[in-house]
Amino acid sequence: MVKVDESLQRARALLQLGRPAGAERELRGVLAVEPQHDMAHCLLALALVHQGKGLEAIAAAQEAVRLVPEHWYPHYVAGQVYYRLRLPNQAAAAAEASLAHSPEQASTWELLARAHMLKGQWRQMADAARRGLAIDPQVSDLVSLLSMAHTRLGEAEPARAAAAHALQLNPESATAHLASGRAALAFGDPRAAADSFREVLRLDPGFGPAKDLLVTALKQRNPLQRILSNLRRRYRGGWRLVFLLPVAPPLIAVFVLIALMHWAAWVSEAVTVLRLARAKATRLLFEGAEARVAMACCALAVAGAGVLVLGIALGLEAVGTAGVAVMALITAVQEATHTGSPRGRKVLYGWAGLLVVAIAAAVIAGAPVVALLGVYAGLGTIWVAAGVRRFFLDHNTAEV
């Protein structure tokens, strides 16, 4: 028994030191002697999930629950495993099972709040965080989660107040700085947000999302980029207006305005990214692909303007219109680049390729009508992309 206890202590220490493989070896040794040891199965589940061994971790957690179903901790560990594997429904169910046995555990309320965060259930996330804080009001991470829930709900003052309180409780918490940065970014202070995300990366250099958020904050410091991005988000759903066209043809002007607004925002995005990618202080924040896409879009703008001027100078309507179509390709390229689904991205890059072929054919055939259709199709990619994203999102959800 003494050796088993010592092995468990070593396994806990190894987990705290970030050495899950060593912890797994210790725990395998314990289970070889006592295969029904519930705590060993719990710790083994944590060691396995930290190594990316998802199925084995689930099996170990379920075995711990089977051995002592009346105890809160195995259910809590199972919830942690599911949460790390991004299985929010199972994580929430395990957290609720744990709370049914021991509702006074603040850590389990935090787990439940995080599970609701994965599900995008912001009100439930806030409620779970408050329940945990009622038990222990000094838990910085719970206050941070409450702030992030308020941010997602659009509640500016509670979000800022909770973030400030989290930082007061633990100034060295990466989660607290993340909550503060998210609130600042959401409610119009990109400079403060950038400072917060830099602090997150200082405290936790391996936290990838903080880099993306920092890049977003740096972009939003550009007033034009901020205005255009806000307008673009507001009118992304404008495709629904198409159903009113038969009774209100003037709405075509609204569609054109929305498309031009998106195009201007994407041009601003390309210029901003290229500027940040070339600056010494921020160049390391951008992967090569981001900088290359930004450069390609800037090149499309310059090339398109050049072809337009050439067409006007030569009196060739097809060439001039093709120049506008080349500039419109910026929307197609940016929409493809910013599509998360790999298959959706391939479809949109294929769409952009078809537009290039159509533009070239219009110039060769001297067909300004075809070039003009290329302009409309390029600018209208915002609605094509919305449909592609929706299709692949629904398809992926069905597979899961």
Residue 398 confidence (pLDDT): 33
Task: Check whether residue 393 and residue 246 sit in a common domain.
Answer: yes
Q: What is the pLDDT of residues 153-212, one digit of tens each?
A: 999 999 999 999 999 999 999 999 999 999 999 998 888 998 898 899 888 877 767 777
Express each pLDDT in 358-390 by its tens digit: 999 999 999 999 999 999 999 988 888 878 877
Q: How much is the mean pLDDT over the chain?
A: 86
Instruction: Answer yes or no: is 115 within a domain.
Output: no
Residues 176 and 246 placed together within one structural domain of the fold: no
Among 221, 199, 205, 329, residue whose Cα is nearest residue 275:
221
With a CB cutoff of 8 Å and minimum separation 6, the contacts of 391 are: 344
38 within some domain: yes
Q: Distances in Å between the alpha carbon of 300 and those of 121, 243, 328, 332, 384?
A: 41, 33, 9, 11, 20
pLDDT for residue 222 is more than 80: no
Same domain, 242 and 334: yes
Residues 287-324 have pLDDT tens digits of 667 788 889 999 999 999 999 999 999 999 999 999 99
The string of pLDDT tens digits covering residues 251-291 is 567 677 778 888 888 888 788 878 877 777 666 666 667 78
pLDDT at 2 exceeding the cut of 50: no
Q: Is residue 126 part of a domain?
A: no
- Of 221, 246, 274, the residue at which a domain comes to its end is 221
Note the pLDDT of residue 101.
96
Assess if residue 375 is contained within a domain: yes
Q: Indicate whether 256 and 300 sit together in one domain.
A: yes
* Same-domain status, 90 and 202: no
Final residue of a structural domain among 186, 221, 256: 221
Show the domain range for 32.
1-102
The domain tally of the chain equals 3
Contacts of 341 (CB under 8 A, 6+ apart): 389, 392, 393, 396
Residue 250: the pLDDT is 63
Domain boundary among 162, 191, 221: 221
| Range in 6-15, 214-223, 264-273, 319-328 the model is least confident about | 214-223
192 and 51 fall within a common domain: no
Do 175 and 141 form a contact (C-beta atoms < 8 A)? yes
CB atoms near residue 335 (< 10 Å) = 26
The answer to whether residue 123 sits within a structural domain is no
- CATH number of the domain residue 7 falls in: 1.25.40.10
Q: Are residues 145 and 73 in the same domain?
A: no
Asked if residue 309 and residue 335 are part of one domain, the reply reads yes
Does one domain contain both 64 and 150? Answer: no
pTM of the model: 0.66
